[in-house]
Amino acid sequence: MSNSQEAAGSTTGVDIQLRSIEKRYPGQARPAVQELSLTIPAGEMVMFVGPSGCGKTTSLKMINRLIEPTSGSITIGGEDITRSNPTELRRQIGYVIQGGGLLPHMTVKQNIGIVPGLLGWSKKKIADRTDELLDMVGLDPSVYRDRFPRELSGGQQQRVGVARGLAADPPVILMDEPFGAVDPITRTRLQDELMSIQSELRKTIVIVTHDIDEAVKLGDRILVLAEGAEIAQYDTPEVILGAPANDYVADFVGAGSKLKQLTLMRVSDAELHQPSICRVGDKVSEVIERVSAEGNESVMILDDRDRPREFLFLRTLRKWDTVPAIDPENAPIVDHRATLNDAMDQMLESSHAAVSVTRRGKFIGNVYFDSVTALLRQSQDNATASTEEEGQS
Ligand SMILES: Nc1ncnc2c1ncn2[C@@H]1O[C@H](COP(=O)(O)OP(=O)(O)OP(=O)(O)O)[C@@H](O)[C@H]1O
């Protein structure tokens, strides 16, 4: 039995301790992460959830020092990682990101073999390990090992990303929105595979997710964060759902059940925002001047038939001289008759806080994440009010 094949179910992970971790980004008034202290027990899968910008990713990346903490200490398996060499540290920690993050010019086998190669494993050992991992994530090695990432679907790329994270058999694996970029069916499958892999390997796995359902499904524990990575609650899914520590947590986890209401409401019920617009082929310098004068930082690119292409930050647009005809394939776009659930799905899948709304293909405005949540709150308030009325009558 190789060292990567411990007896099924025995813990191969080690615990992670964060003590008074703080991260201040230059130029920010408040720290992104303030005084975060946390123990992640060996062999557990811990989910970081919380609203956008609350510091989930920053907290995660401090564990492998992709981001250096401003102060505080982190130990992994009892060792203070702030004293270790960051490059070596990262070889001992698996890291999986949204979309898989595969290197496009390398085959599947080469991608999976990167860290083992750096660790000096023999070619034979790397090849055996690659095949073992491809099997584990549900890809036939003989079919997929020599393919390039572009020859794989999004879900397959994500699977290879997970295999790569596991490659050198690290005790700790960090995942940042690992299944955020795949369709719901593939996501469910990947979650199921991860659960079955974990039941065998018992690594220490930390996952950042936007999806409370995913957190409840996968997590041994869920860390609910508020702004500044303040711990709102840290407990098992059962306790978080059954006994939320405060209104903040109740609101946050309740959003899952409230999502059902979203399938009853239409995009046309939400507030439509009119952003600044520009056309494919416009001169970028003129667009930036005009849009800045309008007080906006982003601009909607339309084609000559008023169809949306992409909603871009001006700072991104600066890369070009004339407004490019960006392929809208991955842009979040919905018809005005779509449900708010579709709109939310699109936003979450594309990691955009807005979705472009069209009528017969033409752009009619943007709906923002905040408008959708406002609508939800309103419908919940209405529901509460009507329940109270019923109680009084
Ligand atoms: N490199 C950076 N420079 C300055 N500020 C940053 C940087 N990275 C993140 N921030 C800020 O730190 C805060 C926390 O960001 P972080 O990415 O950790 O949040 P998050 O909870 O992962 O958000 P999301 O769910 O949107 O990914 C935010 O206010 C963000 O704007």
Whether residue 259 has pLDDT greater than 80: no
224 pocket-lining for ligand 1 (C-beta < 6 Å): no
Ligand 1 centroid distance, CA of 27 (Å): 13
**Per-residue confidence band for 88, with pLDDT thresholds at 50, 70 and 90:** confident
Q: Is the CB of 25 under 6 A from ligand 1?
A: yes
Low-confidence winner among 43-57, 256-270, 309-323 (lowest mean pLDDT): 256-270
Predicted pLDDT at 6: 39
Domain boundary among 206, 230, 254: 254
Position 335 pLDDT exceeds 90: no
Which pLDDT belongs to residue 393? Answer: 46
Q: Determine the Cα–Cα distance for residues 131 and 128; give it in Å rounded to an integer.
A: 5
The verdict on residue 273 lying in a domain is yes
- pLDDT cut 70: percent of the chain above it: 90
**Domain containing residue 360: CATH number:** 3.10.580.10
Residues 212 and 125 in one domain: yes
**Count of all residues that appear for the chain in the document:** 393
Cβ of residue 154 lying under 6 Å from some atom of ligand 1: no
Has residue 89 got a pLDDT over 60? yes
Are 224 and 77 found together in one domain? Answer: yes
The mean per-residue pLDDT over the stretch 294-314 comes to: 92
The region of weakest confidence among 69-73, 233-237, 285-289, 381-385 is 381-385
Q: Would residue 155 count as lying in a domain?
A: yes
Question: Is 68 inside any structural domain?
Answer: yes
Same domain, yes or no, for 100 and 230?
yes
Give domain status of residue 2, yes or no.
no
How many domains does the chain contain in total?
A: 2
Mean pLDDT of 128-142: 89
User: Which domain, by its residues, includes 211?
Assistant: 16-254
Are 152 and 250 found together in one domain? yes
In this prediction, residue 261 carries a pLDDT of: 53
Domain boundary among 254, 284, 314: 254
Q: Sorting pLDDT into bands at 50, 70 and 90, what band is 268?
A: confident
Is residue 383 in some structural domain?
Answer: no
209 CB under 6 A from ligand 1?
no
- Would you say residue 124 has pLDDT above 90? yes
Average pLDDT of the chain is: 86
| 384 CA from centroid of ligand 1 (Å) | 34
158 and 114 share a domain? yes
Mean pLDDT of 113-120: 90
Q: Are 149 and 287 members of one domain?
A: no
pLDDT tens per residue, range 10-42: 777 899 999 999 999 998 889 999 999 999 999
Taking residues 360-377, report their average pLDDT: 85
Examine the fold and report which residue of 228, 254, 280 is the final residue of a domain before the chain moves on.
Answer: 254
Mutate to test the pocket of ligand 1, among 23, 48, 56, 63 (most ligand atoms within 8 A of CB): 56
CB of residue 180 inside a 6 A radius of ligand 1: no
- pTM higher than 0.80, yes or no? no
Q: What is the CATH number of the domain that holds 164?
A: 3.40.50.300
Q: What's the CA-to-centroid distance between 90 and ligand 1, angstroms?
A: 21
Domain co-membership, 214 together with 343: no
Q: Do 278 and 216 fall into the same domain?
A: no
Dmax (CA) for the chain in angstroms is 78
Question: 364 and 239 in one domain?
Answer: no
Tokens of 364: 């009619």
Residue 260 placed within a domain = no
**328 in the same domain as 216:** no
CA distance 343 to 360: 17
Same domain, residue pair 232 and 277: no
Q: Which residue has the higher pLDDT, 375 or 228?
A: 228
Residues 39 and 64 occupy one common structural domain = yes
Q: Which of 311, 359, 355, 353 is nearest to 335 (CA)?
A: 359
The verdict on the CB of residue 122 being under 6 Å from ligand 1 is no
Alpha helix stretches (DSSP H) within the chain: 56-63, 86-91, 108-112, 114-118, 123-136, 141-144, 154-166, 184-201, 212-218, 237-242, 247-262, 284-293, 314-317, 340-350, 369-392
Q: Mean of the pLDDT values across residues 337-360?
A: 80
Q: What are 74's two structure tokens?
A: 């982190």
Of the spans 22-31, 80-89, 251-260, 340-349, which averages the highest pLDDT? 22-31
Q: Does residue 188 form part of some domain?
A: yes
pLDDT in tens, 230-239: 999 999 887 8
Q: In ligand 1, which atom is closest to the CA atom of 67?
A: 1
Q: Is 55 in the pocket of ligand 1 (CB under 6 A)?
A: yes
Please report whether residue 378 resides in a domain. Answer: no
**Assembly ipTM:** 0.95
Residues 6+ apart with CB under 8 A from 246: 232, 233
For residue 4, pLDDT over 50 is answered with no
Nearest CA to ligand 1 atom 4: 25
